[in-house]
Amino acid sequence: MWGTGKGPTPTDCFIARVGFCENVIFERNASIANLSIDSLETTVTGTWDRRVLFDIDGVAPSFKTITVETRITTKDSVQKVVEVANQTHRRCPVHATLSRATVMIFRLIVNGQIFPL
Whole-angstrom distance, CA of residue 114 vs CA of residue 100: 25
Give me the domain span that covers residue 89. Answer: 10-115
Count of structural domains within the chain: 1
pLDDT at 3 over 80: no
Buried (b) or exposed (e) across 46-84, using 16+ Cβ within 10 A? bebeeeeeeeeeeeeeebeebbbbbbbebebeeebbeeb
Give the pLDDT confidence score for residue 53 in this predicted structure. 80
**Residue 4 located in a structural domain:** no
CATH classification at residue 45: 3.30.300.20
Q: What is the pLDDT of residues 18-59, one digit of tens each?
A: 999 999 999 999 999 999 999 999 999 999 888 888 888 888
Give the pLDDT confidence score for residue 1 in this predicted structure. 57
**Residue 67 located in a structural domain:** yes
**Residue 102 located in a structural domain:** yes
Q: How many other C-beta atoms can be found within 10 angstroms of the C-beta atom of residue 112?
A: 7
